[in-house]
């Protein structure tokens, strides 16, 4: 049975690779179209990118969630909602497991045991889980009502938003490749 599961996982990984490549390619074309002032080509390539991304959306959306800090405006490395919601501010805390008895003041994650000494209470309490966040950003790029932004680099954006997906599936930069 494990052989079947492994085969399925390999097939899914390859589907994600192919349709990621197509999404990246058409995002790149969209950027080039806007730079050339060709809005008709932009609309066509946007629709094609949209359709390619929709093929894999069901398999990738759940891996596009982020843990975001509303004070520092940074994305943390927490990869689960439970971890993201486990931050607490501690003031002059002494752990009963610390033989030296040193006090700690700062932000502590009770799930990962990460400590951020010197982080303010306001920042520590500002972490929030945003489910399918990058999926939403990709859909905004490929939304047919979006007339585009000539200053945007859609290829770079799509690559960035899909990176957590690629990490999940073990997809490398070589698997995705570069555009010629």
Distance between CA atoms of 140 and 145, rounded to whole angstroms? 9
Distance of CA 3 to the CA centre of its chain: 30
Contact 17, 25 (CB under 8 A): no
pLDDT above 80 (res 97): no
The 10s digit of each residue's pLDDT in 159-171 is: 999 999 999 999 9
Within 127-172, strands assigned E span: 127-130
The 10s digit of each residue's pLDDT in 10-48 is: 999 999 999 999 999 999 999 999 999 999 999 999 999
For residue 141, give the H/E element and its range: helix 133-142
The 10s digit of each residue's pLDDT in 62-81 is: 999 999 999 999 999 888 99
Token pair, residue 70, equals: 């509303």
The predicted model gives 122-141 an average pLDDT of 97
Distance between CA atoms of 135 and 39, rounded to whole angstroms? 24
Token pair, residue 51, equals: 């359709």
Residue 79 is predicted with a pLDDT of 87
Report the predicted TM-score, pTM, of the whole model to 2 decimal places.
Answer: 0.84
Contact 80, 164 (CB under 8 A): no
């Amino acid at each position: 049975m494990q052989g079947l599961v492994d085969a399925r996982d390999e097939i899914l990984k390859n589907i994600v690779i192919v349709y990621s490549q197509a999404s990246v390619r058409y995002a790149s074309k969209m950027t080039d179209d806007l730079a050339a002032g060709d809005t008709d080509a932009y609309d066509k390539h946007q629709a094609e990118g949209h359709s390619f991304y929709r093929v894999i959306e069901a398999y990738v959306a759940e891996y596009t969630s982020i843990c975001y800090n509303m004070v520092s405006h940074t994305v943390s490395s927490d990869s689960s909602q439970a971890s993201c919601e486990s931050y607490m501010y501690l003031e002059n805390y002494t752990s009963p497991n610390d033989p030296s008895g040193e006090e700690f003041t700062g932000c502590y994650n009770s799930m990962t045991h990460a400590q951020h000494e010197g982080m303010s209470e306001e920042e520590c309490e500002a972490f929030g889980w945003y489910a399918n966040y990058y999926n939403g950003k990709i859909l905004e790029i490929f939304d047919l009502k979006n007339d585009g932004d000539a200053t945007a680099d859609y290829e770079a954006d799509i690559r960035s938003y899909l990176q957590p997906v690629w990490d999940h599936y073990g997809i490398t930069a070589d698997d995705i490749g570069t555009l010629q």
